[in-house]
Structure 1
């Protein structure tokens, strides 16, 4: 937000008062020479005070304008710093996300290899179980055949 005080009217500008200007008659000037000296001295002092007040106000206005410009410059600088920080932060977050993805894929690959080894072991165990089951069935059939043979032979002997 920029503030500019240059275009503002100043209230300290002096304007000649028509009562003290050229409308004075020669009678007023001749009336009292000591009063005239005092009056012109008072008028000179008033003008000096008005000029000093005017220059003081102008100086304050200039200082205020300088301060406003410094604040605006500082804000612009702050915005640049924040923009740079945001850019770096976005860059770092993107970089970290990429690293996490790569690590995740590495873990996936390792887990896949481990699972493949385990699946191979399970497959071998299942194959072994199938063979054992087949052998048990054959043994059971052999025992059944043997029992039948024994039962026949015991029934044929008196």
Structure 2
């Protein structure tokens, strides 16, 4: 009985003949490639999902920022409106106070003006009386002179 080592089953690994080795390597390579391809497809899908998720996050954050900006603008508008209302109230108050002060000054000036006007009226009345008296005196002197001229012409 001749035994060949090639016919013996191996306990550690099976040995392949030359043609079988090439076929087995091709199968292994194809298997590895298909795993890598499916792995690459899976990675691409995963990357695509991550990318899509990342874009969604960016969109969400951008939307939140826009909402915050709009909310801030709304608050600014409300603050300006409130400021305007308070300013109008204060300006109205100040105008009323100025009007009251103006009327007080008018009253004071009016009283003083009335007093001075009364004094002026008295002075004008006195001037009129003096003018009348002066005219009477002038007429009396004119009569006296004309009487003196007559007397001097008869002498």
Q: Secondary structure at the match of 1:150?
A: helix
| Residue in structure 2 matching 1:70, options 49, 68, 71 | 68
| Residue in structure 2 matching 1:55, options 50, 53, 64 | 53
State the structure with bigger RCO (CA 8 A, min sep 6), 1 or 2. Answer: 1
Structure 1 pair 30/136, CA: closer, same or farther in 2 (3 Å)? same
| Residue in structure 2 matching 1:106, options 104, 107, 110 | 104
2-side partners of 1:134 and 1:34: how far apart?
Answer: 142
2-side partners of 1:121 and 1:113: how far apart?
Answer: 12
> What residue number does 1:79 align with?
77
Structure 1 pair 54/153, CA: closer, same or farther in 2 (3 Å)? same
Q: Unpaired segments of 5 or more residues in structure 2?
A: 1-26
> What residue number does 1:34 align with?
32
What do the CA deviations read for 1:84-128 (whole angstroms, capped 9, x no partner)? 111111112212221222222223222222221221111111111
Q: How many residues align?
A: 129
2-side partners of 1:50 and 1:138: how far apart?
Answer: 125
Structure number, greater radius of gyration: 2
TM-score, scaled to structure 2: 0.72
> What residue number does 1:8 align with?
none
Q: Unpaired segments of 5 or more residues in structure 1?
A: 1-28
Compare the two structures and name the one with the higher helix fraction: 2
2-side partners of 1:148 and 1:36: how far apart?
Answer: 157
Aligned CA-pair RMSD: 2.3
Q: Secondary structure at the match of 1:32?
A: helix
Out of 132-141 and 66-75, give the one that drifted further.
132-141
**Does 2:128 align with 1:127?**
no
TM-score, scaled to structure 1: 0.71
**Any runs of at least 4 consecutive aligned residues in structure 1 with deviations exceeding 6 A, and if so which?**
none
2-side partners of 1:154 and 1:53: how far apart?
Answer: 141
